[in-house]
Amino acid sequence: MLTARKNRVLNWLIYRTLVYGPARRHFSRIRLRQATPNPQRNGPPVILFGNHSSWWDGYMVMLLNEQVWGLDAYIMIEEAQLARYQFFRLLGGFSVNRQNGRSAAASITYSADLLNNKPGRMLVIFPQGEILANDRRPLIFYSGVGHLARRVRDVRFYPLALRYEFIGEQRPEVFLSVGTPLHFADSSATPKDIAASLAQALTNELDRLRDDVIAYRLQSFTTVISGVPSINRLWDSLRGKPPMHEVGADNDNANPRQA
């Protein structure tokens, strides 16, 4: 397997050039809501697990961590992809080959060692194993995530629902919704049962996010990053005209656009 080779300086440089900058150029706004406070840097190990519907998903997770959480993050990436884009190893990426049982087991062991050996570490996984449509159901997770729960001491699983939508602007918006963390203290739960519980928790978070975005119930979100304004807003600003009314603003007065 390909192991992580994290480098703090290069991590920052890659984040600013390949993640933060492109995110501001491509999206109108990136919004976040959380069911609980941020995980603590000296607290129990964290596994953040999310749906995988877009090429941007890994970037959004890195943005969440760099802008808000500040944990020592690692991410499990399909071996074929990591072999092609090895700079992700500098960001904490390591490989998994789910088609090879021995290699997959080695990745699970490596993951558990990372999380058990130092406080404040986070592992990011996309348990579906491939990019699938955002509203495809049911969610089916590989059982490896259940084996991780059995091998990492006191680990907390945070479900992350991601959604990309156009909300009346030239560029789409990103919605990140972090649900209540799960903790499996009962050692009798099987890896398959744990994987099913996590899949259901993420399904619930995804459905709630979908329903709230469709209805423009956005009061619970805060803006993490605002992107480049739409052409019409730039034009109005140059002409000294007041900005146009934002779609959904009537339901979102608590969340003005941040700089």
| Domain-embedded: residue 180 | yes
Is 206 inside a domain boundary?
yes
Q: For residue 257, name the pLDDT band (cuts at 50, 70, 90).
A: very low
> What one-character DSSP code corresponds to residue 250?
G
Amino acid in position 217: R
Structurally, how many domains does the chain consist of? 1
Phi then psi for residue 56, to 5 deg, are: -80, -10
Q: Is residue 127 part of a domain?
A: yes
pLDDT digits (tens, 9 = 90+) for 59-79: 999 999 999 999 999 999 999
The pLDDT score that the predictor gives to residue 238 is 77
Stated pTM of the model: 0.90
State the pLDDT at residue 189. 86
Task: Decide if pLDDT at 31 tops 50.
Answer: yes
In a domain, 125, yes or no: yes
In a domain, 50, yes or no: yes
Structure tokens at 11: 């991590």
pLDDT digits 0-9 by tens, 185-229: 877 789 999 999 999 999 999 999 999 999 999 999 999 999 887
Which residues span the domain enclosing 115? Answer: 8-251
Q: Is residue 256 part of a domain?
A: no
Residue 214 lies in a domain: yes
What is the Cα–Cα distance from 211 to 148, expressed in whole angstroms? Answer: 31
CATH number, residue 96: 3.40.1130
The answer to whether residue 19 sits within a structural domain is yes
The pLDDT mean for the chain works out to 90
